[in-house]
Amino acid sequence: MKTVRISIIGFGAVGQGVARSILAKREYLNKQGIDLLVVGISDSKGSEINAGGINLKSALERKKNKGTVAKGKESALDIIRDVEHDIVVEATPTNIENGEPGLSNMHAAFEAGRHVVTSNKGPLALKFNELKEAAEDNGLYFRYEATVGGAVPIFNLIHEALAGNTVIGIEGILNGTTNYILTRMAEERMPYELVLKEAQELGIAEADPTYDVEGIDSACKLVIIANSVFGRDATYRDVEVTGITKITPEALELANKNNYVVKLVCEARKDSLTVAPRLVPRRHPLAVGGTLNVASISTDLAGRITISGKGAGSSK
Amino acid sequence: MIVSMTLELKDIPGQLVLALAPISELHGNIMSVVHQHDEKTPRGTIPVQITFEIEHKVLDKLIDRLEKSGVGVARVGEERLRSTVSVILIGHIVHSDMGDTIDRIDSTGFAEVVDMSLSMPAIDKTSSSYLVINAVGEKELSIALDILREVAQKKDLLMIEPIRQNSEAT
């Protein structure tokens, strides 16, 4: 049995989802010959450290009851630097102003010789190449599949399954919240404001929906794709972004009459990055509804390949 | 220019070649020929629809040559607008001078707004419209979209364009 030690940095929806997934898959991991130990968990208030492996069940309970996992005062950086482990799961909230605290956490992990697995878009949307080089210089893995499209394996598909193909372009719907809003507006002929309120009540949209509805979240994901797939050095400021706040139910109805749906589409080409509401033919593979995400990749050899799935949620 | 013609051929062998030869002699580029031998006009001739690209100045010469060789020219039409795109505009479409918005496209000479539906839910609400623009070719269509994009930006209208056409499955 191989012992793998990990830390979970950030214990919000994603961090807790990771803990729950490990609990649920313990038997499977053991069968694979892996004993996965979580040796450190931190949130904004403090942390728990246990070199012998944290009891995840009680850590999750404590978080639920007290609002924090903290047992001690050690910070995320203390864990990353000083607690012996192999992989840092970086799941702090996305910050697109300066990428912190994720950016420092990731750099510290690479300096300490630890692999990084992350769902945090901020640092990658700002400093993708810097982080990738830091990982490569230290001979470490940097895995960021969860930053784009949740569990939809976009990067694995392109880098592994489609290896050898030249990617010509990628179009996709990479934000479940806006897709939900547009789908409901079209189905119920309800105005934007009402559907947004409904989405907020259902927990699909955040109290401050700006990142989602103004297309910023989509733009960050698009940048990560462009950098990862086209080897660019783009930041989210290089993306031409239009959000969905001005869209009316009447516009969706006019589109529908003419066999179109309106979707917030991200489009990456070698030389252009755009996020904008677009008319999508109703039977086109990109025309997925609800909170679904979808990515359509056109390649020189394999042609066009489209994958779709749930883009958000802690278990993804 | 792109021309479509309906020709009437006599029901004897060799007539189709007779009809097509002058087009290539005058450097025309034939794009399509629809020839249904079992369909006859009341005059007993066989109608053929052909579409081709040819220089405007030789068109009269072509018709002359066809008629002299015994091919009837029943209809001549210019196939102008062959590329089409749909867009949606949202904003104060009427009050930002809808006529001017359409004129900006129509005045190009190579593109036209050929269909428009408008929805105005209430006097203080933004309107939405669905436009179909046709143009002579793909290049012209893309110039027309550039113009509309610029107009939309100036008039603070949200313009929703279709996803790239080449993103259709190949």
Searching chain B, which residue's CA lies closest to the CA of residue A274?
A: B163
Q: Over 60: is that where the pLDDT of B170 sits?
A: no
CB neighbours (10 Å) of residue A271? 7
pLDDT in tens, B6-48: 999 998 888 999 999 999 999 999 888 888 777 888 888 999 9
Instruction: With respect to residue A154, please indicate whether it lies within any of the assigned structural domains.
Output: no
* β-bridge partners, A265: A276
Return the CATH number at A298. Answer: 3.30.360.10
Instruction: With respect to residue A156, please indicate whether it lies within any of the assigned structural domains.
Output: no
Contacting residues for A133 by C-beta, under 8 A, at least 6 apart: none
Do residue A168 and residue A134 come from a single domain? Answer: no
Is some CB atom of chain A closer than 8 A to the CB atom of B122?
no
Q: Which of residues 216-245 of A touch B (CB under 8 A)?
A: 242
Do residue A243 and residue A278 come from a single domain? Answer: yes
- Chain A residues near residue B158 by CB distance under 8 angstroms: 242, 246-247, 277
Do residue A187 and residue A128 come from a single domain? Answer: no
The confidence score (pLDDT) of residue B90 equals 96
Return the CATH number at A93. Answer: 3.40.50.720
The confidence score (pLDDT) of residue B165 equals 55
Instruction: With respect to residue A277, please indicate whether it lies within any of the assigned structural domains.
Output: yes
Instruction: With respect to residue A315, please indicate whether it lies within any of the assigned structural domains.
Output: no
The confidence score (pLDDT) of residue B169 equals 35
Do residue A165 and residue A87 come from a single domain? Answer: no
Do residue A176 and residue A226 come from a single domain? Answer: yes
CB neighbours (10 Å) of residue B99? 9
SS (H, E, C) A118-130: ECCHHHHHHHHHH
Distance CA A160, CA B106 (A): 50
* Residue A167 in tokens: 């990617």
pLDDT in tens, B123-166: 888 999 999 999 988 888 999 999 999 999 999 999 999 997 54
Instruction: With respect to residue A153, please indicate whether it lies within any of the assigned structural domains.
Output: no
Which SS3 state, helix, strand or coil, does residue B17 take?
A: helix
| Beta strands per DSSP E along B20-71 | 29-35, 46-53
Contact B90 A265 (CB under 8 A): no
Half-sphere exposure in the Cβ direction for A138 (13 Å, CA): 19
Of residues A265 and B1, more confidently modeled: A265
Q: Which pLDDT band, with edges at 50, 70 and 90, does B168 fall under?
A: very low
What is the number of structural domains in chain A? 2
The confidence score (pLDDT) of residue A313 equals 52
Do residue A140 and residue A177 come from a single domain? Answer: no
Do residue A177 and residue A107 come from a single domain? Answer: no
**Quick one: DSSP state of residue B56?**
G
Contact A248 B90 (CB under 8 A): yes
Of residues A134 and B110, more confidently modeled: A134
pLDDT in tens, B51-82: 888 888 899 999 999 999 989 998 888 777 77
The confidence score (pLDDT) of residue B167 equals 39
Domains annotated for chain B, with CATH where assigned, are: 2-78 (3.30.70.260), 83-163 (3.30.70.260)
Contact A248 B169 (CB under 8 A): no
pLDDT tens digit at each of 316 positions of chain A: 899 999 999 999 899 999 999 999 999 999 999 999 999 999 999 999 999 999 999 999 999 999 999 999 999 999 999 999 999 999 999 888 899 999 999 999 999 999 999 999 999 999 999 999 999 999 999 999 989 988 889 999 999 899 999 999 999 999 999 999 999 999 999 999 999 999 999 888 888 899 999 999 999 999 999 999 998 889 888 999 999 999 999 999 999 999 999 999 999 988 899 999 999 999 999 999 999 999 999 999 989 999 999 876 544 4
Instruction: With respect to residue A286, please indicate whether it lies within any of the assigned structural domains.
Output: yes
Instruction: With respect to residue A271, please indicate whether it lies within any of the assigned structural domains.
Output: yes
The confidence score (pLDDT) of residue B129 equals 96
Residues of the domain holding A178: 161-310
The confidence score (pLDDT) of residue B2 equals 83
A221 catalytic residue (yes or no)? yes
The confidence score (pLDDT) of residue A204 equals 87
The confidence score (pLDDT) of residue A315 equals 44
Do residue A102 and residue A18 come from a single domain? Answer: yes
The confidence score (pLDDT) of residue B78 equals 77
Contacting residues for B27 by C-beta, under 8 A, at least 6 apart: B54, B55, B58
Instruction: With respect to residue A115, please indicate whether it lies within any of the assigned structural domains.
Output: yes
Evaluate if pTM is beyond 0.95.
no
